[in-house]
Amino acid sequence: MMSKISTRRLVLTAMFAALTAVLAQISIPLPTGVPITLQTLAVSLCGYVLGWQYGGVAVLVYLLLGAVGVPVFAGFTGGFSHFFGYTGGFLIGFLFMAIITGFSFKFSNKFIKIAFGIAGLLVCHLFGVIQFSFLSGNGFLKSLVLVSLPYIVKDIISVVAAYFVSIAIRKALHFENV
């Protein structure tokens, strides 16, 4: 359970929700309907910098803004219908990714921290592939090849980069457990 929320934590949570919205706009559309974006970088940063609770809240705020129609999703889009489209599984997966990545706070070993980020990424991809498979009528393996494998190297690099960037951010913010 979250304890009393400081103004600083509240502002940082809002800033990371906004950062996620901004990095979602760096987008390259692909024929599959699943664009290349920097959302995985942003979501990983939410978890690594804010931890599982506040990182999860930041991503939830991002998702709720998009759900009510604020154009925060890739390509300056928004609306609840996106949760039922080809990318909806990835959107839902972002929440789990931030939370799983944020659980790395409990560990001091950088490889374990990065492993938590990659585990979160894999959960996100699993949600995305399952929903894409269901909606497109493709099997799981074909969907995996279409909407996960082409992105996985970029996404793993994003998670690792987010970890190292988070160290600098946490030091600059004077957070404990850097």
Q: How confident is the model at residue 34 (pLDDT cuts 50, 70, 90)?
A: confident
Tell me, yes or no, whether 1 lies in a domain. Answer: no
Number of domains the chain contains: 1
Beta bridge mates, 11: none
Tell me, yes or no, whether 178 lies in a domain. Answer: no
Dist CA 103 CA 100 (whole Å): 5
Tell me, yes or no, whether 28 lies in a domain. Answer: yes
Q: Is the pLDDT of residue 2 over 60?
A: no
**Tell me, what's the pLDDT at 36?**
87
* % pLDDT > 90, the chain: 87
Q: Is the pLDDT of residue 73 over 50?
A: yes
Tell me, yes or no, whether 88 lies in a domain. Answer: yes
**Tell me, what's the pLDDT at 177?**
55
Tell me, yes or no, whether 2 lies in a domain. Answer: no
The 10s digit of each residue's pLDDT in 85-110 is 999 999 999 999 999 999 998 899 99
The arithmetic mean of pLDDT across residues 162-172, rounded, is 96
What is the pLDDT of the chain when averaged over all its residues? 94
Strands (E), 22-163: 27-28, 36-37
Task: Print the domain residue range for 76.
Answer: 7-172
Reading the block at residue 42, the tokens are 């942003």
Tell me, yes or no, whether 94 lies in a domain. Answer: yes
Dist CA 100 CA 118 (whole Å): 9
Tell me, yes or no, whether 93 lies in a domain. Answer: yes
Tell me, yes or no, whether 49 lies in a domain. Answer: yes
Return the C-alpha torsion angle 80, 84, 85, 88, nearest 10: 80
**Tell me, what's the pLDDT at 169?**
96
**Tell me, what's the pLDDT at 1?**
46
Asked if 42 contacts 159 with a C-beta cutoff of 8 angstroms, the reply is no
Residue the block writes with tokens 């490889």: 111
The arithmetic mean of pLDDT across residues 3-16, rounded, is 89
